[in-house]
A = this chain, B = another copy of it.
């Protein structure tokens, strides 16, 4: 057993951050949390990893990003979703049939994630099974855990990025078999989005997920043109979400990225079925999709987490996306005539950490029985300080000022990565 000692910043629920000055997290030899200590007994028999005055925070979870889009961060940002997909994204993703290229990009991506304190992800790969396996290997090696999806897409793509319905099915099965070798990175069923998949493929994927007990991720109601397109492809449905529901993919733990334009009925369907909204505020502004009314989602009891949506989003570090979520919510606050309250720093921290950690292990905060996912933040070099700051102030400043060099240690799935 070991005590990780420092100033604990624990997100216990949406509103509540617990600050413990000189506290500790007691973990066992497997890195499982045994207790959070408000005080460390001077005669403790446990080994102490002493981070002194530094902040011990939750590590971050990036619940929606496209790994093969990493090389195109910050390009094509003057375009909207569908043009951006056709001009940049699909051509870029097609490059990942080259495994050396994939290795190079994914090695870099996995290490950048860890250096920035992101220890858990739910990620889109491309349609290429071999490159997807390379991605999963690189994530495991770097210490990133979570879910990765081989993307399924058998229509409405460019010639360079194509799989037939049959190929898509067979390749998915081959991929799932290969995935058994991974310990920390698991597969998730990933229809790109409704316009990319034939009904036959959707049906196959829904059944497969059910049979294998796999979770599902996709996109929902990101852009107005996209919504119309989906409706024209599925005229028998009333709303976008029903195109997933039709194929048994609208269920508990299904992650739906964006939900910018989800109306009350669509939101109710999320809430009633345990579908989770992955809010990607930076991407939604970059691609001029809109601003998701997160406060409304939270008021209605919908589970919300955050995603960088690389490369619609242009910022990999989740502390920056937490900031972006606050800023996006302030836009809604202003737009509502100061009625829809913006996300406080506590709340946005929760969405980027605790709310998403719960996806993986069922509990919020540094709860007993969870594997430790944490970062240690050295905030001593931010700026000279006017007076001694409270832990709450230091925490707020960390969210706004942190850069990767301030993250001096990372714990992922109970293991100290650095």
Task: Tell whether A46 is near chain B: CB-to-CB under 8 Å.
Answer: no
Question: What's the Cα separation between A220 and B380 when bound, in Å?
Answer: 35
Task: Tell whether A400 is near chain B: CB-to-CB under 8 Å.
Answer: yes
Within 8 A of B (CB), among A99-117: 101, 104-105, 108-109
From B71, B323, B382, B384, A386 is in contact (CB under 8 Å) with: B71
Is B334 a contact partner of A288 (Cβ separation < 8 A)?
Answer: yes
Question: What's the Cα separation between A345 and B286 when bound, in Å?
Answer: 11
Distance in Å: Cβ of A342 to nearest Cβ of chain B: 7
Question: What's the Cα separation between A48 and B105 when bound, in Å?
Answer: 35
Is A108 a contact partner of B384 (Cβ separation < 8 A)?
Answer: yes
Task: Tell whether A396 is near chain B: CB-to-CB under 8 Å.
Answer: yes
Task: Tell whether A273 is near chain B: CB-to-CB under 8 Å.
Answer: no
Within 8 A of B (CB), among A157-187: none
Is B105 a contact partner of A290 (Cβ separation < 8 A)?
Answer: no
Chain B CB within 10 Å, residue with most, of A101, A385, A403: A385
Closest to A402 in B: B74
Proximity string of chain A (315-331) to chain B, C-beta cutoff 8 Å, 1 when within and 0 when not: 00000000100110011
Residues of B with C-beta under 8 A to A342: 78, 288
Q: How many copies does the complex hold?
A: 2
Distance in Å: Cβ of A348 to nearest Cβ of chain B: 10
Is A330 a contact partner of B105 (Cβ separation < 8 A)?
Answer: no
Is A399 a contact partner of B285 (Cβ separation < 8 A)?
Answer: no
From B91, B334, B345, A290 is in contact (CB under 8 Å) with: B334
Distance in Å: Cβ of A352 to nearest Cβ of chain B: 16
Task: Tell whether A344 is near chain B: CB-to-CB under 8 Å.
Answer: yes
Task: Tell whether A363 is near chain B: CB-to-CB under 8 Å.
Answer: no
Question: What's the Cα separation between A104 and B109 when bound, in Å?
Answer: 38
Is B333 a contact partner of A288 (Cβ separation < 8 A)?
Answer: yes
Is B108 a contact partner of A383 (Cβ separation < 8 A)?
Answer: yes
From B109, B289, B338, B400, A314 is in contact (CB under 8 Å) with: B400
Is A383 a contact partner of B70 (Cβ separation < 8 A)?
Answer: yes
From B74, B105, B338, A384 is in contact (CB under 8 Å) with: B105
Proximity string of chain A (388-418) to chain B, C-beta cutoff 8 Å, 1 when within and 0 when not: 0100010011111101000000000000000
Closest to A106 in B: B384
Residues of B with C-beta under 8 A to A387: 95
Distance in Å: Cβ of A110 to nearest Cβ of chain B: 13
Within 8 A of B (CB), among A272-316: 282, 285-286, 288-291, 314
Distance in Å: Cβ of A190 to nearest Cβ of chain B: 21
Task: Report if A397-B334 is in contact (Cβ < 8 Å); known contacts: A108-B384, A327-B286.
Answer: no
Question: What's the Cα separation between A393 and B74 when bound, in Å?
Answer: 9
Distance in Å: Cβ of A73 to nearest Cβ of chain B: 6
Proximity string of chain A (102-143) to chain B, C-beta cutoff 8 Å, 1 when within and 0 when not: 001100110000000000000000000000000000000000
Task: Report if A74-B104 is in contact (Cβ < 8 Å); known contacts: A288-B334, A288-B342.
Answer: no
Question: What's the Cα separation between A91 and B386 when bound, in Å?
Answer: 9
Residues of B with C-beta under 8 A to A331: 285, 291, 331
Task: Tell whether A77 is near chain B: CB-to-CB under 8 Å.
Answer: yes
Distance in Å: Cβ of A10 to nearest Cβ of chain B: 19
Residues of B with C-beta under 8 A to A399: 74
Is B108 a contact partner of A285 (Cβ separation < 8 A)?
Answer: no
Closest to A289 in B: B334
Chain B CB within 10 Å, residue with most, of A101, A334, A342: A334
Given contacts A75-B396, A78-B342, A109-B383, 20 further A-B contacts (CB under 8 A): A70-B383, A71-B383, A72-B386, A73-B401, A74-B400, A75-B393, A75-B397, A77-B345, A77-B400, A101-B386, A104-B384, A105-B384, A108-B383, A282-B327, A286-B327, A288-B330, A288-B338, A288-B342, A291-B331, A291-B334
